[in-house]
Amino acid sequence: MLHFIVFFLFIVIFNNVYFVVGWDPSNFTFNPGQDYELVFQDDFENVGPVKAFINGKPAYAPNPKNWAPIVGMHIDGGLQNFTNSIFNAYVQDGKFTLVALKEGLTSGMYASKNLQEFTFGIWAAKIQLPYGKGIWPAWWLLGNADKYKLKWPTCGENDILEMVGGNNVSVNLTDQYAHGTVHWNNQSNTMKPVFNKQIHQQWKTPDDSMLHNHSLVYWTEWTPEQITIGVNEFIYSRINTTNLPESINPVWAFSGKWPFYMIINIGIGGEWPGPPDNTTVWPQLMVTDWIRVYQKKTE
């Protein structure tokens, strides 16, 4: 069970206009609860040699014991070119910054595959997001079922956070919404047959502000029975993984048969956000203060 320092929200109605008073995310402290203990944390300290000077300060690569770059064009269907350039991903002043650049549409994607992987627990990251048309940041988990020769979606995916930048209000694809999605193969626990089944939920800032305006804690809890997704003190998705709809249950992906690893990136363009346009501001930054993983205490 998660426990939080919760700040109450008061709804004020004036001339049919609704205002939220009292939401101050800057004062939020994440607490996983007394049943959990910290098993991994990255506070993004300087490790290794200086790779470049950015904004007049030394910049470092993320800790190679925790993170490795994923490099390539159009990964996940976006327009971006993910690189291993220090100018697309660097550690500085105790923060990990991913940078999406207009020139060449380069960006950064880093993963903890085969480095930091966990089965069950709570994953949390304090992030200030980028914003704008065509910008698609994500903080997510992917199952590592390589030893079973199983790939996506059979391996399972937990999108703790996606933000689809822009102003497509009709489908809630704006800078105010966080999206959480769980993917799995509902047809089998193998690669034959394969069908991507998903459950998607979304959360909007209580005061209608852009997510970019805040540094928020985006988290998930995965237990043998369910997956929960939240932002700060808010829970906006809870899924019973023992009886997933229209599926061959039990679904191996969420049974604990294999661990999940972390991925963090800024996508550019793609079917969901669409391409950037002349309103998109460059560069775009995704700034992470810390990432932590907690697991249940052993007796």
Q: How confident is the model at residue 86 (pLDDT cuts 50, 70, 90)?
A: very high
Domain assignment present for 43:
yes
Q: Which residue has the tokens 């060449």?
A: 104
| Secondary structure (DSSP) of 102-128 | SGGGEE-EEE-TTTSEESSEEEEEEEE
Phi–psi pair at 264, nearest 5 degrees: -140, 135
Q: Where are the beta strands (DSSP E) in 10-94?
A: 10-14, 17-21, 36-42, 52-54, 57-59, 68-69, 72-73, 81-82, 89-92
pLDDT digits (tens, 9 = 90+) for 237-274: 999 999 999 999 999 999 999 999 999 999 999 989 99
Question: pLDDT digit string (tens) for 187-223?
Answer: 999 999 999 999 999 999 999 999 999 999 999 999 9
Which helix or strand (DSSP H or E) is residue 275 part of? Answer: none
Cis peptide before 283 (omega within 30 of 0): yes
Q: Is the pLDDT of residue 3 over 70?
A: no
Q: pLDDT confidence of 1, banded at 50, 70, 90?
A: very low
Residue 5 has what pLDDT? 37
pLDDT interval class at 107 (50, 70, 90): very high
Q: Of residues 20 and 156, which shows the higher confidence score?
A: 156
Number of domains in the chain: 1
The answer, yes or no, to whether residue 24 has pLDDT greater than 80, is yes
For residue 17, tell me if it sits in a domain: no
Per DSSP, the three-state class of 294 is: strand
Q: Kindly report each contact of residues 251-254 with a partner whose C-beta sits within 8 Å and lies 24 or more positions away, as own/partner.
A: 251/156, 251/184, 251/185, 251/186, 251/189, 252/145, 252/154, 252/189, 253/143, 253/145, 253/153, 253/154, 253/155, 253/156, 253/184, 253/185, 253/189, 254/156, 254/182, 254/184, 254/222, 254/227
In a domain, 21, yes or no: no
Q: For 172, which DSSP code? A: T
Contact 180, 202 (CB under 8 A): yes
Coil, helix or strand at residue 7: coil
Mean pLDDT of the chain: 92
Residue 104 lies in a domain: yes
Rounded to a whole number of angstroms, the CA Rg of the chain reads 19
Q: Give me the pLDDT at residue 6, please.
A: 38
Which among 117, 165, 163 is positioned nearest to 141, based on CA atoms?
117
Share of the chain above pLDDT 70, in %: 93
Residue ranges making up the domain that contains 213: 31-296
Residue 15 has pLDDT above 90, yes or no: no
- Identify the pLDDT of residue 143: 98
pTM metric for this prediction: 0.93
Q: What does the buried/exposed string (b/e) look like for 56-83 if buried means 16 or more CB atoms within 10 Å of the residue's CB?
A: eeebbbbbeebbbbbeeeebbebbbbbb
Banded model confidence at residue 22, pLDDT cuts 50, 70, 90: low
Structure tokens at 92: 């500085």
Residue 21: band (very low, low, confident or very high) from pLDDT cuts 50, 70, 90: low
Residue 210 confidence (pLDDT) = 96
Is the model's pLDDT at 171 over the cut of 60? yes
Contact predicate 254/227, CB 8 Å: yes
For residue 160, what is the domain's CATH number? Answer: 2.60.120.200
Q: Would residue 182 count as lying in a domain?
A: yes
| Weakest mean pLDDT among 24-28, 153-157, 223-227 | 24-28
**Structure tokens, 147:** 């030893």
Percent of all residues in the chain with a pLDDT value above 90, rounded to a whole number:
88
CA dist., res. 277 & res. 238, Å (int): 35
Per-residue pLDDT averaged across 135-153, rounded? 98
Max CA separation in the chain (angstroms): 61
> Does pLDDT of 292 surpass 80?
yes
| Mean pLDDT, range 40-46, rounded to an integer | 98
Question: Is residue 95 assigned to a domain?
Answer: yes
